[in-house]
Every structure is written in C-alpha cells, then in structure tokens.
C-alpha cells in the first residue's frame, strides 16, 4: 500500500528503511504544491504537475494527481495510467494497487497478474505477499484473517492470522493473532512453519540475523532461533529499531543512541531521532537539527539541516530550512549534484 515518499527522514517508516532507492539520476523538485523531476544536469525532465512522486523501485516511480495513482519510468513517461485509488511501489516485478475498494497486483506493463479481491495487500518479498481476503460481513478490514500468496495468486500460507503480517525478511515473517484484543506475535518461514512461538506483543523484520520484539512493555532483540540476545529494557516506541552495519538505533530514556549486537552502547543516548547507518553514516537529530555521525559516534557533518535522508551512492538529500528545496551533499557535507 501507498507510502508518501516526499516526507523526510524524521518519519519512522522511511527513517528506518534501507530499501530507499536513488531516483535513477532524476531528482524531484517542487513548484508550489506540485512536483516534477530534473536530471543530473538540472534539466527539467518532468514538469511539476504531480501531487507526489515516489522514489524509483525497479525502474518505476509512483505518481499521483488528486489521489489517482499511476507510474512513470526513468525517462519520465507515464507507462501506467493514473487510475488507481491506492498504490504501492514495485517489488519483485509486481505492485499492489487498489480499484473499487479491492487490491490486486499488476506488472510493469499495467497488466493485471493477480485479481482485485483483497481488502489489504503488502509488497512481495522473497516471492510472497501478505493479503487479506474481502469479507462483506466484516466492516473492519484489519479484523479479516490474512495469509500469504505467491506471484501466481496461490495461497502458500493459510488465512489464519488476524493480527497483521509483515514482509518476509531473511527467510522469516512476523505473523500475529489477536484474540480478545490480546496481540501475540511470532515468526513463520516461507512454508508457513512457526519457527518462533507467537508470544510477543509486537515485532519487526529481521535484519543482520536479529529482530526487535516487545515483551512486557519493553523492547529487546532475539535471533532466528528465538533466543533472547539483547535483554528487554528499551522503550516500546522503538517500533522500527533494527541493525544496519552492525549497529541499531534505539531509544532509551526518551533519547536515541546506538547499540551493538551484544547490547553495548556505542553511541550515547543523546539524540532526538536517529536513522539506520548507511554507507558508514547515520542521520541524527539534535536540537531539532539534522546531521550525520559515523559508527564511532563522531559527528562528521554538523547538525544544521531541517531535514535529511540516509546516504545512498555517496550522496544524501537535505534541506537547510523547511521552506527550501532539497539538495544533495557528499560525505563531507559539501553540496553536490
């Protein structure tokens, strides 16, 4: 389902995502409340006419005008018409889109591959997608049981989980049951076998062999066998906490810092927010300004930006002020195209 790509790094769903891609040498820019794209030379490739433009995933970017969604390619051509009520971003060659209050999947030509019959649908990861079948008698779509389908639309893991589902990551996916408003989360493999018992209050996706889960109102980390590796002692607000480049940004006492895989504090808990590490640097917020630190905690680029993204291909997009446009910097903080 849809995510807003133009929200800056301070939004958790983007902040903790190392799946953000570059814009294939195209950079978004705004004129008023409309967005277009420029190439690396600063030439306008797509005139500003869209309400939103996502990053490019698999050579395709989602665009919308008045909440109708379609897709453009890396040349800026509209290859899939803006006709969907909701839409995700391409993953493994397919994307989930909504029409007439039902979700299905299309390919990069716009051809329907899996029919529109689901009330929710998640992106394909490791060949599987978590979906919920439409049931007219159930008004709250989040209370409809879900399961996993493959790219042919065949059910691989039965529709028995009613507490939500996550994408597969490193061979495991979080599943949950919600009985009498008591949520219990655990993990299954790609065959549907329960590998980690459904006993946690919340969970995330595995990264670098570990996952953050919640127990008794605190967050800790477990491995793929379910063994507790880092004790449950961190704030429950750490919904997106995960390891990247050997470190996890996590909140303790209302501030963010970084720990290693043994639970040792590597970067002190002094920041208002923190991103994943990417290419050796992480974005951190201090006194409402963003900058970048290295894996030792040293401030490499001072906290002077109002917004900032993680580094990709040696560049990060930042804003000096909220009213300014984004521009790219290198790892020394120098402006670059």
Residues 272-294: tens digit of each pLDDT: 999 999 999 999 999 999 999 99
Question: In the chain, what are the domain boundaries?
Answer: 1-90, 274-337
Coarse DSSP helix, strand, coil percentages of the chain, rounded to the nearest 5 percent: 0, 55, 40
Location of structure tokens 């995960």: 242
Q: What are 245-278's pLDDT values in tens digits?
A: 999 999 998 999 999 999 999 999 999 999 999 9
CATH of domain 274-337: 2.40.10
pLDDT classification of 303: cutoffs 50, 70, 90: very high
Nearest-angstrom CA–CA distance, 245 and 196: 25
pTM above 0.75, yes or no: yes
Q: What's the angle, vertex CA 170, arms to CA 142 and CA 269, rounded to 5?
A: 80
pLDDT digit string, tens, across residues 181-230: 788 999 999 999 999 999 999 899 999 999 999 999 899 999 999 999 99
Q: Which residues contact 2 (CB under 8 A, 6 or more apart)?
A: 62, 69, 86, 87, 88
């Amino acid at each position: 389902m849809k995510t807003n790509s133009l929200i800056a790094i301070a939004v958790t769903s983007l902040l903790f995502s190392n799946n953000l891609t570059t814009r294939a040498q195209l950079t978004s820019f705004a004129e008023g409340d409309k967005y277009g794209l420029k190439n690396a030379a600063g030439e306008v490739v797509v005139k500003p006419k869209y309400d939103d433009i996502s990053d490019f995933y698999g050579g395709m970017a989602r665009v919308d005008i008045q909440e109708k969604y379609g897709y453009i390619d890396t040349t800026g051509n509209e290859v899939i018409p803006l006709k969907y009520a909701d839409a995700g971003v391409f993953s493994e060659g397919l994307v989930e889109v909504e029409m007439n209050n039902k979700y299905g999947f299309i390919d990069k030509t716009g051809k329907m591959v899996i029919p529109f019959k689901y009330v929710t649908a998640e992106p394909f990861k490791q060949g599987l997608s978590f979906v919920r079948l439409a049931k007219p008698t159930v008004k709250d779509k989040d209370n409809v049981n879900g399961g996993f389908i493959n790219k042919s639309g065949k059910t691989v893991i039965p529709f028995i989980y009613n507490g939500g589902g996550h994408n597969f990551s490193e061979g495991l996916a979080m599943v949950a049951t919600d009985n009498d408003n008591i949520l219990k989360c655990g993990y299954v493999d790609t065959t549907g076998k329960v590998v980690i018992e459904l006993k946690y209050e919340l969970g995330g996706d595995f990264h670098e062999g570990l996952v953050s889960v919640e127990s008794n109102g605190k967050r800790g980390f477990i491995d793929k066998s379910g063994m507790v590796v880092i004790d449950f002692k961190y704030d429950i607000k750490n919904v997106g906490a995960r390891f990247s480049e050997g470190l996890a940004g996590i909140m303790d006492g209302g501030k963010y810092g970084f720990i290693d895989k043994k639970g040792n504090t590597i970067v002190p808990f002094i920041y208002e927010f923190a991103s994943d590490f990417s290419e050796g640097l992480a974005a951190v917020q201090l006194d409402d300004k963003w900058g970048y630190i290295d894996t030792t905690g040293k401030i490499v680029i001072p906290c002077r930006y109002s917004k900032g993204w993680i580094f990709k291909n040696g560049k990060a997009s930042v804003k000096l002020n909220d009213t300014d446009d984004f521009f790219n910097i290198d790892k020394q903080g120098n402006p670059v195209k």
